[in-house]
Amino acid sequence: MNRLIQTAAAGVAGAALLASAACGSEAASEEPGAKAASPDSSADYEAVATVEGATLSTSEGDIEVTLFPKQAPTTVRNFVELAEGSKTANPTTGDDRFYDGTIFHRVIEDFMIQGGDPLGTGTGGPGYTFPDEIDPDLTFDAPGKLAMANSGPNTNGSQFFITTAPTRHLDGKHTIFGEVADDEGQQVAEAISAVDKDASDKPVEDVVLESVTIHRSDD
């Protein structure tokens, strides 16, 4: 199904970030038929306890993000393992580093940019889903939130989005697992949201996520 983020911003706003790789009204959802895993959050936290952040190197510049392993251990572990190639290979490229070479397939100015789909269509994912980790202290009260796209509750997979405006209508609907770390990175996200796009909000020229580098306190 289409993972899509619908924007409330566009008045369309209430549309949810639909995971079909979207993060709009409905967050991106994973592939149909995949069942949500039952993660052990304590084990997940141990696996990512030293993780501090990541560099998302894009064709438009780098976006430095801070990750939240304490608040969203399962989500952070999933992101880290996909990024570093220790979980599931990209089904399109065969690359162990799942995110390398994927595109931001949906971008909406004053709302968000969405990526993480190996198909680049809003319908792809890693072949599984996992439950939400909603922390009431983490809200979409400001730009720069890094969150999972989905197609409904507990349908997280690989698609994620970064907000470029406050989006409080998404509170409680998407797992926030990080945030943009500095103004420079936020400017890159905003520049990506403003590129020329087609009627489905897909950039006319691919905006590529070239690599994701994870940073740990013990590096």
**Predicted confidence (pLDDT) per residue in 12-51, tens digit:** 433 445 444 444 444 443 444 355 555 678 999 999 999 9
User: Is 71 in the active site?
Assistant: no
Query: Does a structural domain hold residue 37?
Result: no
Q: Pick the catalytic residue from 79, 130, 160, 161.
A: 161
Q: Which pLDDT score is estimated for 41?
A: 83
User: Is 160 in the active site?
Assistant: no
CATH of the domain at 84: 2.40.100.10
User: Is 187 in the active site?
Assistant: no
Q: Which pLDDT score is estimated for 27?
A: 40
Number of domains into which the chain is organized: 1
Query: Does a structural domain hold residue 204?
Result: yes
Q: Pick the catalytic residue from 3, 105, 106, 169.
A: 106
- Domain with 123, as residue range(s), is 3-30+54-216
State the DSSP H helix or E strand holding residue 145, giving kind and residue range, or none if neither.
Answer: strand 145-148
Q: Pick the catalytic residue from 3, 105, 169, 174.
A: 174
Q: What is the mean pLDDT of residues 114-141?
A: 97
Q: What is the mean pLDDT of residues 90-112?
A: 98
5-15 pLDDT, tens digit each:
443 443 343 34
Query: Does a structural domain hold residue 85?
Result: yes
Query: Does a structural domain hold residue 39?
Result: no
Q: How far apart are CA 68 and CA 169, in angstroms?
A: 21
143-196 pLDDT, tens digit each:
999 999 999 999 999 999 999 999 999 999 999 999 999 999 999 999 999 999
Query: Does a structural domain hold residue 41?
Result: no
Q: Judge contact between 20 and 29, C-beta under 8 A.
A: yes
User: Is 174 in the active site?
Assistant: yes
pLDDT at 122 over 50: yes
Query: Does a structural domain hold residue 42?
Result: no
**Alpha-carbon distance values, 45 to 75, 84, 95, 165 (Å):** 10, 17, 26, 29
Q: Judge contact between 7 and 25, C-beta under 8 A.
A: yes
Q: Which pLDDT score is estimated for 36?
A: 54
pLDDT at 117 over 70: yes
Query: Does a structural domain hold residue 48?
Result: no
Q: Pick the catalytic residue from 111, 130, 160, 177.
A: 111
User: Is 161 in the active site?
Assistant: yes
Q: Which pLDDT score is estimated for 39?
A: 64
Query: Does a structural domain hold residue 43?
Result: no
Q: Pick the catalytic residue from 6, 78, 114, 156.
A: 114
User: Is 150 in the active site?
Assistant: yes
User: Is 78 in the active site?
Assistant: no
pLDDT at 199 over 50: yes
44-99 pLDDT, tens digit each:
999 999 999 999 999 999 999 999 999 999 999 999 999 999 999 999 999 999 99
Q: Pick the catalytic residue from 170, 177, 186, 209.
A: 170
